[in-house]
Amino acid sequence: MIDQETIQRIMDATRIEEVIGEFVSLKKRGANHIGCCPFHNEKTPSFAVSPSKGIYKCFGCGESGNAVGFLMKHEHYTYPEALRWLAKKYNIDIVEEQLSDEQIERNNERDALFHVSEFAQKYFASLLYENEMGVAIGLSYFHGRGLTDKVIKDFGLGYCLEEWDNFTKYARANGYSDNVLQNSGLSIFKEDGKVYDRFRGRVMFPIFSVSGRVLGFSGRILSKEKQAAKYVNSPDSEIYNKSHILYGLYQAKNAITRQDKCYLVEGNVDVISMYQSGVENAVASCGTSLTVEQVRLMRRYTKNVTVLYDGDAAGIKAAFRAVNMLFEEGMHVRVVLFPDGHDPDSYAQTFGSTRLQEYLRDNEMNFILFKTKILAADIKGDPIRKAEVLGDIVRTIALVPDLMERTEYVTQCASLLRIPEETLQNELAKTLNRKLYESMNHKPDPGDKDLKETGERDGKQVEAQEINEQPQQKLVIPFALNPAQSQENKIISLLLNYGNELIALAPQNEGGDAAVERYTVAQMIVGELLGDQISFVDPVCQYVFNVYAEHINKGDLSVDAQLFVTCDDEQVREKVIAMMMNDYSVSEKWKEKKIYVPTKEERIRTDVEESILTLKLKKLDIKIDDIDRQFAYLSDDDEKLMLISQKMSLIKIRQRLGSALNRVIS
């Protein structure tokens, strides 16, 4: 492990423009450097690097991060690998942190699992060409599937002999302990002392990490035993977790990045067959239903995924839920449906690689429209089924983050379902309202009519008490952008860019004299907003504000914005970097023309004061609007009078704020 002091020395020495300059041609523009983004194809430079802040941001595709993040993204390094690359570049000696006995033992176990897995892969691969049974059974199977020797070696394929403990004996003879063999899942030890190879009599598909290390195996049986499972996978271990791994990603990652697209298929052989056919950007889940972790792994390389299905309609419908997960993670999803009786492997075997590539190109369709067509075919004049299909489609459209894209889906899906566009739009608005309500209140809307009496909604159990306590009237919350979003962003941007800057204030002391005091921008913002109990609707803004408030309450007046640049949460990281990265600067030529243009730094105090007042004004407007909405639902006169009194008090405060901002507030 690299100790924290060494990591800090590496980060202090790193100059981001020098690091990125080794991979991207950069030109200086003002305080920043610009170039063409290495993560998407572009001719006009939109990739900016800020040396002063140590971050980069592409204003075209949105990629952002620091020097370590760039190396991890561009070179597919792990975090330690990126640090070591930087240490080598800047001639910094790596100091390894002293590990505890427990950490040493765990690392030794992990190392042993890696070693035995790589040892097993090499052994199984050698049997294909050096063992008589391996050639006759294993190699002939792969050749029979149309795989070339080059592809067999590229994917490290192999064969485990049809003997009880052939591999276990060989591993023991090479010094591997029974404990390591058992923990790796390669050998199974029974209580009666018997031992046998987990993968005996199977062709072997090693599963690699992103960096190319062997993590586990998937073994396919070749005999026709009805009792035996067709595929057997390695059990989860210290190094292998099938829900966090995509088969073929190691071989496909560069092609995925280059083409900005990933094909998602069902099986290992499909991945290999497509690779051999020239479609090298394909992956598959490792013997499990698609998981969030696997989707996020894909998203590291692209946001565009095309799902490939065979012609079985039942299998397609069963996979709809998994595809919704792709939308939830912000992926752009398309689909290719193969003719009945074909999958990617069989299609390539039957028609060849050229026809496969043509078919993928010519038959790709948008997933939501594809899903709508499939489900619409099931309606058959049944109004109940039609309502169910409508709800299903609306829930999928609601997962799409882009407003214009959602609007286009509404238009096209309404046409496919033969319903008025307004009907679909209203249903979508209801769904989005419910999602907004739940995101703001962290619980389902109790007045939601979609809350079933059975105590279920969207497949989730709901307490019976919540159902019985539904109010008679439903508070309608229109789906709209956060009205104070721009001001929330402005406040957080000031914290990130100028939070540690000092501002001179002159509050009057008890004698009426002005005593100049200096406060940081962060102190001023946090003190003002906490004093008025103002919170943020945007969760990222609230998170950043909370971190600053926590530091200031502890007496730490200097907060390093790099805390957020290296945050594990991608949403926080991307938004913070966007706020920190200025894609413009004041030209020096203004001074040559003797025209004075105040810089942002010179306007910090004014910006801070105006932004705080404006945010308070926006929050007051929201409270007054809430009172107006509540008023329409009240019948009790006393409650109405109380609301009127509250509104008048808020209006007076609103007018004072407007006066301070030199605005006329009615």
Return the CA Rg of the chain: 31
577, two tokens: 């970097």
Q: 98-140: per-residue pLDDT in tens?
A: 656 676 666 678 889 999 999 999 999 999 999 999 999 999 9
527 closest CA partner among 606, 603, 607, 612: 612
Question: Can you tell me which residue has the tokens 């030109």?
Answer: 27
The β-bridge partners of 309 are: 337
- Is 0.85 topped by the overall pTM? no
SS3 for 480-494 is CCCCCHHHHHHHHHH
Q: Distance (Å, rounded) from C-alpha 547 to C-alpha 561?
A: 10
Phi and psi at residue 49, in whole multiples of 5°?
-125, 130
218 closest CA partner among 204, 202, 208, 228: 204
120 closest CA partner among 195, 242, 207: 207
Domains and CATH numbers, the chain: 4-89 (3.90.580.10), 101-240 (3.90.980.10), 246-441 (3.40.1360.10), 486-660 (no CATH)
Other beta carbons less than 10 A from residue 209's beta carbon: 17
Q: 33-82: per-residue pLDDT in tens?
A: 888 888 887 778 889 998 878 899 988 888 888 999 898 888 777 788 88
Beta-carbon contacts of residue 507 (< 8 Å; ≥ 6 apart): 514, 515, 517
Q: 588-633: per-residue pLDDT in tens?
A: 676 777 777 666 556 788 888 888 888 888 888 888 877 777 776 6
459, two tokens: 């497949």
Give residue 64's pLDDT.
Answer: 87
Q: How confident is the model at residue 469 (pLDDT cuts 50, 70, 90)?
A: very low
Do 171 and 181 form a contact (C-beta atoms < 8 A)?
yes
Higher pLDDT, 474 or 282: 282
Indicate if the pLDDT at residue 10 is higher than 80.
yes
**Three-class secondary structure of residue 375 per DSSP:** helix
Do 190 and 307 form a contact (C-beta atoms < 8 A)?
no
Which amino acid is located at 405 in the chain?
Answer: E
DSSP E strands in 101-221: the ranges are 158-160, 187-189, 195-197, 202-208, 214-221
Indicate if the pLDDT at residue 404 is higher than 60.
yes
Question: Can you tell me which residue has the tokens 């591997």?
Answer: 176
**Three-class secondary structure of residue 549 per DSSP:** helix
Indicate if the pLDDT at residue 470 is higher than 60.
no
